[in-house]
Each structure stands twice: as structure tokens, then as C-alpha cells.
Amino acid sequence: MRTMFLKLFFWFWLAMTLSGIVIFLIAFNMRIGPMHAQFERRYSVERARVVCEALALYGHTAAGIYEKYGELATRNFVRHGEPHGMRAYLFSTNGTSLSGPAPLHLHKAVQQLLISGVSDIVFDKGIVSAAVLVKSPRGKIYVAAAEGVPPIPPPRVLLQGWPFTGGFWFRFCVTFVIGGLVCYGLAWHLTSPVRQLRAAAQRLGTGDLTTRVSINTKGRGDEVTDLVRDFNRMAERIEKLMLAQKQLVRDVSHELRSPLARLNVALGLARRTASSAAAAPLDRIEQEAERLNVMIGELLTLSLLESDSARFEKESFDLSEVVDEVIQDADFEAAGRNRRVKFEATGPLMMAGNREMIRRALENVVRNAVRYTAEGTAVEVTLEALSNRAVIRVRDYGPGVPEDVLQHIFRPFYRIAEARDRQSGGAGIGLAITERAVLLHSGEVQASNAPDGGLVVEFRLPLS
């Protein structure tokens, strides 16, 4: 139970179930306690009194019919005039039934009444058996006996006997299921904004700065609502800051192009009039101007790739040819540094996209590998197809990258401590361009350290 939803659901459900069991047991304790026993005794006495009164009145009427109309009329009266569902009979004082055949246990009840003179009333599982003495309109004594459902309903008690019976388990299961449904709805209601907030945070983390959490906060007014509003304000602020930063980079890059062009013109004029002693400083100025020009070009490229309007024409091309072109150029440059670049491919691999963009992305990585691999070693580049995706691996034998900064090397302007001098480390823009170009082609790029030293950069690009 690692999620908030499961924790809320389980603990609410457990609390409701235990509460139901406790209430159930308390009610059972009241059922068998002295208060309930006293109530049962009072209720039984009242019920017996009502039954006796009803039977006495019925017997008085039956005795009058017998004396006036005879036994046949009495039988008809008994057959069609059952009092409140009870089957009644009229007996003489010698125990003879005057209204037709009667059950044996009623004959016994009549004999017991005639011997003891006390009305005999028995309640057995809701069925009443009773016998009372009655006096006819002429003053003669008879016995009225009856059996059947009592004229008033039995008391409704919560439990009967030991609680853990079939009825108990049925009620327990119903309570358990209903409680589970209620807790499920409650947990879902409480955690739904949190799930939406988590999904929005993930989208924001992937670079979608327009992400906002849209939930119905009407009627909530709780801490979750405040959290959602704070998140939306934070996302809006981040979006504005990032847009301002990108706009600043674009503006600065464009503005630097004009003075840089004038600097190159002035440099050319200075070479015409300068002496041979000024050649070395002018060469250094030209070198730095060219480096600045490359940096500005990379900034503009990165700004274009990160803009919302980044679009490109797709074409079908052989990825292995693009990789081979990059390898040939890089190997030529590496030869002058006592390094090599090796390439292995499984064959032609066709993909749809922007050929130049992919070439530029791969070239940035290969040039970095040539720059950092040890002298006398070769940068190894492989290309293969795995599950409809092209996998390109560039592996060097340099110092590698600290594990804690591997996930940051594709960020713009990020440079690790060992490469802070611009002569070797650049400005930290090339790998950012690589990642953005790969993402625009629905691919992915990641870096890892090789077990025996060096850095491995892996591209995964979809094939057409």
C-alpha cells in the first residue's frame, strides 16, 4: 500500500468494519442483559393478557351460538370466524369438543385447565396454544381453546441467541461490501486532485510549460484546492521565466551578429596595414572571433529547436549513410591527434526526418568523443536495428563523466568541472542541440559510463 488512495481506502474501510462489529456486539450484550430480560417478561405478560381477553370474548360468542343454534352452527362459526389467525375450539366442562375435532395438545390443555382452574397459555416459536374458562350468555361454563399466530406481533429483537450465526455473517458481509463501496468513493474523491497534480508535475518536468491542473474546485475549499492553485501559479511563473530567457538568448544572439561582422571586416583591414610582428595577435583575434561566431550559431540553432514553432520538412534517408559521412570527417580530424574513429553498421536503415538535423546531432557527440578519448585509442561507433528503432552507440576511452552529473550534460550551458576551460569543453550547447534534435524526431539519447572507462552515448531513433 504505497499509494495514498490505497491507504485511505484500506484504513477507512477497516475503521467502518470494526465500528460495525463493535456496535453489533454492544447490541448483542444489551440483548442478553438484565434490561432486555425485564422487557421480555413485561412483554410476555402483556401478550398473554391480550390473548386471554380475545379468546374469552370469542369463547363467550361461540358458547352463545352453541346454546342457541347447536353444534353445527358452532362449527361454522369456528371455521369462518378465526380471531386474528387463531384456530379456536369450544369444549364442554367434561373435555368434549363442541365445535368439531380438535388437536390432541388442545385436549390436554383443556384437561389441565379443568384440573388446575388456571388458564394455560404456551408460546412456542411464535405459535400460541391457550385454554381459558368462559361463561355463556345463559351463565353456563365452557372452555375456549385456540392455537395459531398471536393477535399481536412478537417483539422485534436485534439478535436471537449466539450472534455468530448465518444471519450475523449475512449482515456482516452486507456491511462489509457497503462500507467498501463508500470508502472507495471517498478515497477516490480525496485523491483524484492529487493524481491530477502528479500527472501535471510529470508533464511540466518533461518540458511542457503550458501544463496546468484543471479540476472542479467548487465546493471543496480545502488544502488540496490551495495546493492546486499554488501549483498553477508556480507553473505560470516558470513558463514566463523560461520564455523570457529564450527570448533573451535569441535577442542577444541576433544583436551580437552585427558587431561580430564588423569585427571581421576590421580584422581584414588591419591585416593589410599591420606589420609581421602583429600577425600572431591578429591570428588570435581571428580565432576567438570564429569561436564566438560558432557559439552564436549554436545559440540560434538551440533557440530555434526549443521554440514552439520548431518545424522541419521530413524526408526519407539512409541513416547509415549519414553516420558514415560524420565518421569520415571525424576520422580525418582525429588522425592529426593520434586518434581514430571506427564504425560498424549492419546495413542500410531508412528513417524519416531531417537529414541535416540528425547529422548535426550525431556530429556534436562524435566530435566530443574525439576530443576526450585518450591518444592512441579509437572512438567506436556502432549502428544496428532493434525493434523498429535504430540504435547508435558512440563510445570513447576518455576520463568519462561523474555519475552524479550524467543526467545534466544535455542541459544548455552545462559543463562539468573537468571541462571548464573553453579550449576543451566548449560552451555546453552542442549536447543540448543534440538532445533537442533527437526529441523532435521522437527519439531519445542518453549517456552512461563504460565499465572499463570512457563514456558511451546512445541514440534511439524510429525507423520508417
Grid coordinates representing 41 are: 417478561
CB 187 within 8 A of CB 179: no
Q: What share of the chain is helix, strand, coil (3-state, %, to 5)?
A: 60, 15, 25
Q: What is the pLDDT of residue 158?
A: 43
Instruction: Tell whether pTM > 0.85.
Output: no
Residues 6+ apart with CB under 8 A from 454: 373, 395, 396, 397, 398, 400
Q: At what angle do helices 34-69 and 71-80 cross, to 10 degrees?
A: 140
Question: Which pLDDT score, from 0 to 100, does residue 377 have?
Answer: 92
Give the 3-state secondary structure of 382-447.
Answer: EEEEECCEEEEEEECCCCCCCHHHHHHCCCCCCCCHHHCCHHHHCCCCHHHHHHHHHHHCCCEEEE
What is the spatial distance between Cα 397 and Cα 403, in angstroms, rounded to a whole number? 16
DSSP reduced 3-state for 149:
coil
Query: Is 254 an active-site residue?
Result: yes
What's the CA gap between 413 and 296, in Å, rounded? Answer: 13
Q: Which of 60, 254, 408, 441 is catalytic?
A: 254
Q: At what angle do helices 430-440 and 355-372 cross, to 10 degrees?
A: 140
- Cβ-contact 256, 303 below 8 angstroms: no
Tens of each residue's pLDDT in the chain, 464 residues: 456 666 676 777 777 777 777 776 666 655 555 555 565 666 666 777 777 888 888 888 888 888 888 888 888 887 776 655 568 888 888 888 888 888 887 888 888 888 887 776 776 665 677 888 888 888 899 988 888 755 554 444 444 444 445 566 676 677 777 777 777 777 777 777 777 888 888 888 777 778 888 766 565 666 777 788 888 888 888 888 877 777 776 676 666 767 777 887 887 888 788 777 788 888 788 777 777 777 777 666 766 666 655 566 788 999 999 999 999 999 998 988 899 999 988 888 999 988 888 988 899 899 989 999 999 999 999 999 988 899 999 999 998 888 888 888 888 777 775 443 444 545 677 888 888 888 888 899 999 999 988 999 999 999 98
Can you list the domains of the chain with their CATH numbers? 33-148 (3.30.450.20), 223-306 (1.10.287.130), 315-462 (3.30.565.10)
